[in-house]
Amino acid sequence: MLKRKLTTLLEQAAAEARREGMIPQIELPDITVEHPQNAAHGDYASSLPLKLAANARLNPLEIAERITRFIPPTPEVEKVVVARPGFINFTLTSHWLAQQVDSILEAGEMFGNVGLGGGLKVQLEFVSVNPTGPLHVGHGRGAILGDTLSNVLRAAGYSVQKEYYVNDAGTQMEAFYRSLYARYLQAFGLSAEIPPDGYHGEYVTQISREIVAEKGDIFCRLPEPRAVAEIGQIGLSKVLDSIRSDLALLGVHFDVWFSERSLYEGGQYQKAMSLLRDRGYVTEREGAVWFSSSEMGDDRDNVLVRASGAPTYFASDVAYHYNKFEERRFDKVIDIWGADHQGHVPRMKAVLRALGLDPSRLEVIITQMVTLKRGDSEVKVSKRSGEMVTLRELVEEVGADACRFVFLSRSADSQMDFDLELAKKQSADNPVYYVQYAHARIASILRLARQRGIDFGHGDVALLTSGPELALIRKMLELPELVEVVAERLEPHQLPYFAQDLATTFHSFYKQCRVISNDTALTAARLKLVEAARIVFSRVLHLMGMTAPERM
């Protein structure tokens, strides 16, 4: 990757300048190379001289001049320029840029992949909502974030496993099972009440009706504990099937569905608790068992086992993460949680330290709320049920591609408005349409070339010298850098921004440069460029989990 090569050239030049006494014998800071906001300043720029100025006690412009003397000529760089107040700017050669079209064509669908991960094992756990009802819109945001991150991390060279943690143990599931049992009895005209902490949604009634249709009145004749348990397992299976189906509509599929209950059956819970006890991080008071989180930097201790003897959600999470790191040996774990789990992060970091694990191996992404809108009006309930808007209803209304793009368009830590009307609009106002239309336009150009029998395989890319052509190449070459940045920072929202910029750059090229013309040599060269653009559009769309349409 050129960005990395330029960084290395700067490191070597700065080290050489230091050896020659051109700059003082001081420690070099982290050296970064970025794209300047103003294209007139070149293709890449580094602020290294500004970072060195204070410790070197030299004018940053002078430092820049001294370092650039040791930057050797390279075939990629046309010129290296020092600019105020202390930048080193690189401008690429037009010839090298044009050659990159052939490089993109040769890489094909592998273009954009980088070797950052080196095969490290990463687990992405996301959605993981309690299986007590249908997914709502907010769950969709986490689903798309996790699925897209998995695509990018794989492109960056990581070995990735996507996991759904099924919370099939605990008090919420018991309340759900009892709610189903009550509705089941009511279907036969028997007296039964939903428990105080139970579930009242219409979907509970619907599931109970399905159980009646499939099993008849068999559970009316069983002892209540057994009936609740058996109905509960049927209901759990139905909800999980529904969740799988809803996620599939979005193109989200998990490699593993991990049962919380298995942590107790398989002994991981007991192992983790014993380890904490042996290390002196468990205390007992007020009849409950506590993790001494405050000793590990958290603001308070946290309950592991209630006075009733029931493990808390936190206790299950301790066992779960013990399993992830110690038993399944993931090098890195990324959890994507909703906004209501913000306070859970420090205690999980603390417990990892208590277990003797490096807490930096756990990354937690917190997603904020989603507000549905139709223009200026907020949408709070489903037209169909009068209750919450489900994820399935959203996908059925605007489509999976629009859902994915919109959910990705804001950083996870910011609240977002999802405008249903805009997401369905077929115009340049809708960024989803705008980006996919660029790919469809490219497909149309290539179809026309095939219809006319134009073979552009031997086109000479050296003919690509105009501003719009080179601007498009420059933009396409940013994809590998973007994959690396998204993988390092876990910021998939940068993908739709890049896609929109790429679409704008392509549409500008298309308006200014006639692709198929009477000039056969230039036509072949430009068709090569268009095919390269198709590859890059296809890659970024597929990284986002979207389709790359041939027609619109």
Q: What are the residue ranges spanned by the domains of the chain?
A: 2-92, 171-249, 370-424, 428-543
Distance CA 28, CA 7 (A): 13
Which tokens in the block code for residue 173?
Answer: 């599931």
Query: Do strands 377-379 and 370-374 pair parallel, antiparallel, or not at all (unpaired)?
Result: antiparallel
Give the other-Cβ count within 10 Å of 14's Cβ: 25
Q: Using alpha carbons, select from 64, 80, 60 the residue that is nearest to residue 72.
A: 80
Return the bridge partners of 160, or none. 122
Provide the pLDDT for residue 259: 97
Instruction: Sheet with 159-166: list strands edge to edge.
Output: 256-259, 159-166, 121-125, 332-338, 362-367
pLDDT of residue 386: 57
Q: What does the alpha-carbon distance between residue 250 and residue 33 come to, in Å, rounded to a whole number?
A: 37
Residue 372 sits at φ, ψ, to 5 deg, of -85, 135
What is the pLDDT averaged over residues 505-527?
A: 97
The answer to whether residue 26 scores a pLDDT higher than 80 is yes
What integer is the mean pLDDT of 66-89?
96
Average pLDDT over residues 9-23: 95
Q: Which helix (H) or strand (E) holds 125?
A: strand 121-125
> Region 159-177: what's the mean pLDDT?
95
**Which of these ranges, 2-6, 25-29, 102-106, 162-166, has the smallest mean pLDDT?**
25-29
Max CA pair span of the chain: 93
Torsion of CA 185, 186, 192, 194, to 10 degrees: 100
Distance, CA of 184 to chain centre = 41
In residues, how long is the chain? 552
How does 36-47 read in b/e, with b if 16+ C-beta sit within 10 Å? beeeebbbbbbb
For 163, 276, 288, 314, 391, the CA distances from 319, given in Å and listed in that order, are 16, 11, 18, 9, 30
How confident is the model at residue 293, as a pLDDT? 83
The pLDDT tens digits of the residues spanning 242-288 come to 999 999 999 999 999 999 999 999 999 999 999 999 999 999 998 99
Q: Judge whether 487 and 529 are in contact, CB under 8 Å.
A: no
> Does the bond joining 85 to the residue before it have cis omega, within 30 degrees of 0?
yes
Domain 428-543 has CATH 2.40.40.20: no
What span, in angstroms and rounded, lies between the C-alpha atoms of 49 and 14? 9
Q: What are phi and psi of 76, to 5 degrees?
A: -80, -30
CA distance 25 to 40: 34
**What per-residue confidence (pLDDT) applies to 381?**
64
Q: What percent of the chain has pLDDT over 90?
A: 90
Identify any residues that bridge with 371 across adjacent strands, giving them in sequence order. Answer: 417
pTM score of the predicted model? 0.94
In degrees rounded to 5, what are phi and psi of residue 137?
A: -55, -40
**pLDDT tens digits, 462-501:** 999 999 999 999 999 999 999 999 999 999 999 999 999 9
For the record, the structure tokens of 252 come out as 């989200």
Structure token digits, residue 150: 């998995």
Per DSSP, the residues of 299-311 read SS-EEEE-TTSPB
Residue 170 has pLDDT above 90, yes or no: no
Domain 2-92 falls in which CATH fold?
Gyrase A; domain 2 (3.30.1360)
Residue 383 has pLDDT above 80, yes or no: no
511 C-beta neighbours (distance < 10 Å), count? 9
